[in-house]
Structure 1
């Protein structure tokens, strides 16, 4: 059965390569994506975040560096569930647009789906603020 998705976007007045390089560095996640986790750490080449609300630790696995602006990643949640997250940086003239796909998890209510999308929008707005300052 297809999964419902919502694309959350933000235009950033910086070159796509600059946006990509910043967003591709997992060490920067805590600055612009606290919805994923406020604490980001690297252990033996792997990246971990503390799940908000005391939910434990999740591993974040990123796609390899590339020239296409692809920042897809997986979040390996406590309990074994894996969330696949498509995320792109797309050139828009001399600037960039970031596109983050929010997928509805099984059993997720409309309100929960709306909250997830709103949290992503807040994170992308923070990314914009950081990169444009």
Structure 2
């Protein structure tokens, strides 16, 4: 069903051979962002209820909203919580499925969306590598 939104949603997912709790523990802790999303966060530090994320070019303030009950971890722009990455960890057999959704304004060029989602795919592979037993 069409919406009146001018945003485009893109979702990627990966299966992980680890329990949902292990995946949630990794992605829900902002200190871990540099480990699995180094392009977004080279360093992270708490600032009140928010987090300051340094991407190497400057700092961005984010809000991390976690619901362990629902398996969600949202990494949101502190200035506008409608913007950010919306993620969810789901049980999948003995393992997990990690879903990652970004919204893009309707006028973002297709190649820019494709580049960003390729980065997301790399991040998802890194989450899988960090969570699965060696």
Q: Show CA shifts across 1:41-78 (max 9, x none).
A: 123443111135x1x211120114421101122024xx
Contact 2:50–2:64 under 8 Å retained in 1: no
1:114-133 counterparts in 2 under 5 A? 114-132=114-132, 133=134
Number of aligned residue pairs: 128
Displacement of 1:111 after TM fit?
0.4
Residue in structure 2 matched with residue 24 of structure 1 by the alignment: 28
> Which of 29, 34, 40 is residue 38 of structure 2 equivalent to?
34
1:47-86 counterparts in 2 under 5 A? 47-52=51-56, 54=57, 56-76=58-78, 83-86=83-86
> Unpaired runs of 5+ in structure 1?
none
Whole-angstrom distance in 1 between the partners of 2:30 and 2:88: 15
Q: Are residues 1:46 and 2:50 paired? A: yes
Which structure has the highest strand share of the two?
Answer: 2
Displacement of 1:123 after TM fit?
0.7
Contact 2:89–2:98 under 8 Å retained in 1: yes
Q: TM-score, normalised by structure 2?
A: 0.85
Displacement of 1:9 after TM fit?
0.6
Displacement of 1:108 after TM fit?
1.3
> Unpaired runs of 5+ in structure 2?
none
Q: CA RMSD in A?
A: 1.8
Displacement of 1:40 after TM fit?
1.2
Q: Which runs of 4+ in 1 moved over 6 A?
A: none
